[in-house]
Structure 1
Amino acid sequence: MARICSVTGKRPSRGSIIHRKGQSKKSGGIGTHVTAITKRWFKPNLQKIKVRLPSGQVKRILVCVKVIKAGKIQKA
């Protein structure tokens, strides 16, 4: 099963972690320098919950927490 929200279509996105070293100029140093850039995935907070569909059928689907908090779906 793919990590995609059934309601919003939210999916994992690519990003990076930037490692910095040194003291900032504001703190009296010579500035921070980038020492490494590591690629990573930002994953949506998906939960598997039972949902009552408009037809009355109960189905288990993956939805992101943003949808649950907003009340866009009706739990079974």
Structure 2
Amino acid sequence: MSKICEICGRKPHAGNQISHSAKKSTRWWHPNIQKVRVKLPDGRVKRMKICTRCLKAGKVQKAVS
């Protein structure tokens, strides 16, 4: 599953994991992506991949089951 938010475009980014001895290895941070049924402005319902930050901010309206 692609880890990109369809609303804000957040995606994984890389950085360094630093051990106690200061050795560095690459690691990834992934956004918390959820599959959500969303009600679009025209009234249709669509399943989208949205990060929890967008859900909490109310940028989309969840469809009632």
Cα displacement string for residues 35-69 of structure 1 (whole angstroms, at most 9, x for unaligned residues): x2110111001110000011111000000000111
CA distance in 2, matches of 1:75, 1:2: 21
Where structure 1 has 5 or more consecutive residues not aligned to the other structure, the ranges are 22-33
Match of 1:61, SS?
strand
List structure 1 runs of 4+ shifted beyond 6 angstroms. none
CA RMSD across the alignment: 1.0
Please give the alpha-carbon distance, in whole angstroms, between the structure 2 residues aligned to 1:58 and 1:16.
40
Residue 29 of structure 1 is matched in structure 2 by none
If you compute each CA radius of gyration, which structure gives the higher value, 1 or 2? 1
Matching residue of 1:46: 33
Report the identity percentage.
44
| Letter in structure 2 aligned against 1:19 | S
TM-score (norm. length: structure 1): 0.77
